Structure 1
Amino acid sequence: MEPPERRCLALVDVNNCYVSCERLMRPDLERTPMVILSNNDGVCVSRSAEVKALGSVPMGTPWHKMKNLARQHGILAMSSNYELYGDMSRRFHGLLATWVPPHCQEIYSIDESFLDFGGQRIDRTATGHAIKRQVQQWLGLPVCVGFGGSTKTLAKFANHVAKKRPEWQGVCDLTALSAEERLALLDQFEAKDVWGIGRRLSEQLKEHGIHTAGDLARCDPKRARERWGVVMERTINELNGVSCIAWEDEPPTKQQIISSRSFGGPVYTVDELADPVRMHVGRAAEKLRAQGSVAGRLGVFITTNAFRPQDPQYSPIRTIRLAVPTDDTATLTVWAVQILKSIFRPYRFVKAGVMLDDLRPKSVMQGSLFDALPSEQDMKREKLMGVMDKANGKWGRGSLGIGSAGVKGERDWSMQRGMLSPRYTTRWNELREIS
């Protein structure tokens, strides 16, 4: 990996990712105002450019509050098609991987990748446009590219400029600007447009006369650290070209794994709650095994509806320490159901989930003087977990599970996605038909 001062970081980001994936197979929706909804068709998690232009639909707007606006402007709502988005994400990141060596790509999110072109003598603007063309031609997804020199924060800002300012034509190279020109460009954007500066923090900055990204870049990092902490100091240094955020060419190992989801309808009995808890244990354990870890603590939580003040509220959580850290789905499921029974009370529940904590590498587990050698039964269970993971990887999440977690079919608590599009790229029976 290049030293920080020799890096040339670019951020490639899919525009309105979920909407763009839906339009990929439905070109007739290209100019249609669209929103993609969260689990149970709750709130907006992706908006088309046409909806953003209305200025009255911020991210996270509940769908039921904007139905009149949707009728007025012809806004189409669709349920989140995670299988489609995940498959397109894999293709997107795989295509970007061809532009740099393996250790020079950092996958930041489902629709964003950092690329390091350090050491390569390239025309950055031309390279950015070449990436745009290739992703559009090969995958049908629109992207913007931002080059930020040696820091991730500047690469994120450059990408933001490329998206918000049409004159940049989707590619912004901050390294082509002088220090004065870069500050002048930063002055054209609010401080909240900087990576890591949220709405609440931006309000605090305004109280101290810091309104623009340029104002923030001119701050004294040490003074900012005293007032707002080390993260703010790093952000200011990054805006000035000093690399402070480490490069991660491999995703960091998770220190905690949580699996939870709201129900499609209320659940009242402990037996009904046990089904989604088993399912969440299976998903969490699969992630645990994928990173080669075992869990030392297991937690279960259930939640009533806080948006129904007329209902009694009860949202308990309980965790236990496991005698032997494990990644075995069956063992974790037995304990999770026992925890659930210990915290259950007869209320109207709308959500359940599990947490795996105290994670540690499976290869370096701490033994004790009285531990026996692994039994043949343990080895068979480990093989069984491997078979489950391969089956779920091949035929889809939840194809195999423990008890009712492996039973297909809609349940009363299943997630509602009433406006779900076909899984065009991963299911033979849902391929797009052209007549």
Structure 2
Amino acid sequence: MSKPEPVFALIDCNSFYASCERVFRPDLARVPIVVLSNNDGCVIARSYDSKPFIKMGEPYFQIKHKLKQHGIVAFSSNYALYGDMSERVMTLIESLVPAVEVYSIDEAFADLSGIDGLDDLGRRIRAQVLRCTGIPVGVGIATTKTLAKLANHTAKRLQAQTGGVVNITDPAKRDWVLRNTDVAEVWGVGRKMKLHLDALGIKSAMDLAKADPWMLRKKFSVVIEKTARELAGTSCLELDEPDPPKQEICCSRMFGQRLTELPPIKEAVATYMMRASEKLRAQGSLCKKVRVCIRTGMFNPEEAKYANGVVVDLPYPTDDVRLLTRAAVDAVGHIYRPGFRYSKAEVMLLNLCQPGEYTDDLFAVSQPAEATRVMTVLDQINGRWGRGTLRSASVPTNPDWGMRREMMSQSYTTRLDQLWQVHCG
């Protein structure tokens, strides 16, 4: 029995951060929205209706008047909400298709090879995600991942005509999309590459699909060659397997204000270690070394500058947040120097390994079984009742040094005390 022709779908959430904010604020359904970066610095996400007025990356303090002028609502980034909503969307998609590759927080590829009724399936995915999560998505279906990206782009660009679902497995429909899409919209073609392609007379996606792939490989790279082949209908990119465990885990944040005293810096390091250890346990790894760094601001000429870091060896490979926090907090005391205004701290988990891996010392101490059980219970409680329900004693709930997020929405799905309330009149 011959293998069916590959078919991929790209399911992409529309203006994801803004859509998350609207789920629990129906009064903002027709109000333009922007979402700001850490410390309310600059614009990192925009709803479709805010894009004509606000550019990505614009500093918030410079555009306050424009936001007010056009009735645009600004939100501080609420990563706990966005992460939880993403998990709900991806879990739902996984229940509807045979195989999924989560590509980013708001995108997933699906393998639809051998499935009939692709248009109906695309519409069902879109309707189900919207009904169960409130997040609108676009669905692009094609015979390669690059074409699926292009189909998804078309579904969003022509939302009124397509209903958010575009299937270009048919060659005639594929060619129409290729002819009517600028080469800059092709997955993997950046601004610089567009200039190079323009010089060769390659203006549209169709031009790139028809270009000599060997010439493209020789002149540019194998990536552009594969892109051209994929646009022509030859699948070169498979659905990726799950990523292997990371070899390093880092957690770093800018403080909401400059810190001069050691105690709040220790609190920050303990907080970052709490998050880093969650990531460590999530991928089933143990840590052998910890690196801690602190630094001042580097761009204010009127402030004295200082940066330092230290690596600490742990007594045994561990995922126990108590041991990791104790090592990190002790370490920051050795590199702290009074008289400076600190702006950032970082913790990094190094030399990661899997439990049971061979060590060169037969008599090496290992993590006590009791510690492993405690960490399991910790993660189960926080997984059920929300991150931070249980935490290290050195981690404060609302620190003064925390990131500035003065316009942050509630954590509707991850904190019991911030659940959505519906009042019946």
TM-score (norm 2): 0.88
SS in 1 for 2:368: helix
Cα distance in 2 for partners of 1:290, 1:118 equals 31
Out of 414, 417, 420, which is 2:402 matched to? 414
**Unpaired runs of 5+ in structure 1?**
none
Residue aligning to 1:394: 384
Judge conservation of contact 1:25–1:432 (CA < 8 Å) in 2: no
**Does residue 432 of structure 1 match 2:424?**
no
Residue aligning to 1:385: 375
Out of 231, 238, 250, which is 1:258 matched to? 250
**Does residue 325 of structure 1 match 2:317?**
yes
Deviation at 1:208, TM superposition (A): 5.1
Judge conservation of contact 2:43–2:59 (CA < 8 Å) in 1: yes
- In structure 2, do the counterparts of structure 1 residues 193 and 387 end up closer, same or farther at CA, with 3 Å as the change threshold? same
Cα distance in 2 for partners of 1:66, 1:428 equals 34
Deviation at 1:8, TM superposition (A): 1.2
Out of 141, 166, 170, which is 1:172 matched to? 166
The one-letter amino acid of 1:191's match is: V
Judge conservation of contact 2:6–2:235 (CA < 8 Å) in 1: no
Cα distance in 2 for partners of 1:197, 1:353 equals 34
Deviation at 1:364, TM superposition (A): 2.0
Cα distance in 2 for partners of 1:109, 1:413 equals 30
Cα distance in 1 for partners of 2:191, 2:13 equals 23
Deviation at 1:204, TM superposition (A): 4.6
Judge conservation of contact 2:151–2:177 (CA < 8 Å) in 1: no
The one-letter amino acid of 2:421's match is: R
Deviation at 1:336, TM superposition (A): 2.2
Judge conservation of contact 1:424–1:432 (CA < 8 Å) in 2: no
Deviation at 1:76, TM superposition (A): 0.8
Cα distance in 2 for partners of 1:193, 1:176 equals 20
Deviates more, 1:352-361 or 1:271-280: 352-361
Residues 49-101 of structure 1: CA distance to partner in whole angstroms, max 9, x if unpaired? 111133xx222222112111112111111122333323322322222223223
> What is the aligned-residue RMSD (CA, Å)?
2.7
Judge conservation of contact 1:10–1:116 (CA < 8 Å) in 2: yes
- In structure 2, do the counterparts of structure 1 residues 193 and 356 end up closer, same or farther at CA, with 3 Å as the change threshold? farther
Cα distance in 1 for partners of 2:193, 2:259 equals 38
TM-score (norm 1): 0.87
**Unpaired runs of 5+ in structure 2?**
none
Out of 328, 343, 361, which is 2:354 matched to? 361
Aligned identity (percent) is 41
Deviation at 1:135, TM superposition (A): 2.4
Give matches, 1:329-348, under 5 Å: 329-345=321-337, 346-348=339-341
SS in 1 for 2:119: helix
**Does residue 423 of structure 1 match 2:411?**
yes
SS in 2 for 1:6: coil
Residue aligning to 1:129: 123
Residue aligning to 2:259: 267
Judge conservation of contact 2:9–2:110 (CA < 8 Å) in 1: yes
- In structure 2, do the counterparts of structure 1 residues 187 and 353 end up closer, same or farther at CA, with 3 Å as the change threshold? farther
Deviation at 1:418, TM superposition (A): 1.2
Judge conservation of contact 1:36–1:77 (CA < 8 Å) in 2: yes
Residue aligning to 2:60: 63
- In structure 2, do the counterparts of structure 1 residues 330 and 20 end up closer, same or farther at CA, with 3 Å as the change threshold? same
Cα distance in 1 for partners of 2:235, 2:167 equals 17
- In structure 2, do the counterparts of structure 1 residues 351 and 233 end up closer, same or farther at CA, with 3 Å as the change threshold? farther
**Does residue 10 of structure 1 match 2:5?**
no
What is the aligned length? Answer: 420
Cα distance in 2 for partners of 1:162, 1:292 equals 39
